[in-house]
Amino acid sequence: MNNRFNSDNTSFLPLSVAVLLLLAGWGMTLILSLIVNAPFFPESYSVLAISLTILELVFLIPILFYLRKKRSDISVFTAFRLKKIDRNAWKGIALFSGGIIILLDAVDRILGKWIVVPEEYLQMMESYKWSSFPEAILMIFAAVIVASIVEECIFRGMLLQAMEDDFKKTFRSILFSAFFFAMIHALPWYFIQIAILGIILGGMSYLFHSVLPGIFLHSVYNLSSLIMLNITQEPAWYVINGHVRNIWIFAAGFLVWAGYYFCSPLFFKNWKRKR
């Protein structure tokens, strides 16, 4: 199992196939979401969390089916870029992720002054607020763990690798994969924020040759969003007049720099190993 996890196989899915599989999975989730949101479907917080988990997992079905039937020569680990990374990198990844989350929150609050979020969407997000510990566990499992793993495997694993192989240009690949990531979320009022997050996650996947760091950042980002949604009042030590305090923005910049500083030697090691 460990040998498969660390596979150095460089075979990727063709870009056209990767895009079609992505769209097929998206279509399946859209159809299923119509059923989940139908009037006859039972409404409860546990059903909401379980439905979200199933919708994310359904996204993987076309890809897994194709790999099994058509490309059995490519392991799931290779297709999704699931490769172990140097354990010494996790300190830098944690610092970098903490800084990025604060900076993204600051950007989101600034853009929120100009981009109007529909009231219907805000009301829908109210349904994601938990009222008990079991509900919190269910939603964290769905929106933090499952969503982060599935989306990173698809967008920064399968799709980004296919784009890197096809475009032969790293930044273009990261940019286009981020565009797909933002488009699939179908939230035009958050398109810029999601695209920025996608670019950062794509850069991490490329530099580490693995989606594991991205899964960590993505999960912590989703967790912080859930926590902010569920608190009754934003902490005054963090927010002032609806914006992140400057001291935290400077601190976030330092965390990003420190995270990159600790990880940069590993990037060069990865590139040498790849060559």
Distance CA(169)–CA(174), nearest Å, equals 9
The residue type at 144: V
pLDDT tens, position by position, 119-164:
999 888 998 999 999 999 999 999 999 999 999 999 999 999 999 9
Distance CA(38)–CA(40), nearest Å, equals 6
| Residue/partner pairs of 120-123 with CB below 8 Å, 24 or more apart | 121/187, 121/189
pLDDT tens, position by position, 10-33:
467 999 999 999 999 999 999 988
pLDDT tens, position by position, 64-77:
999 999 999 899 99
The per-residue pLDDT for 2 is: 41
pLDDT tens, position by position, 78-103:
999 999 999 999 999 999 999 999 99
Local confidence band at 235 (pLDDT 50, 70, 90 cut-offs)? very high
Is the separation of the CB atoms in 207 and 270 below 8 Å? yes
Task: Read off the tokens for 143.
Answer: 């929106």
Distance CA(187)–CA(135), nearest Å, equals 25
The per-residue pLDDT for 40 is: 64
Task: Read off the tokens for 35.
Answer: 């059923």
pTM for this model (two decimals): 0.91
Is the separation of the CB atoms in 13 and 21 below 8 Å? yes
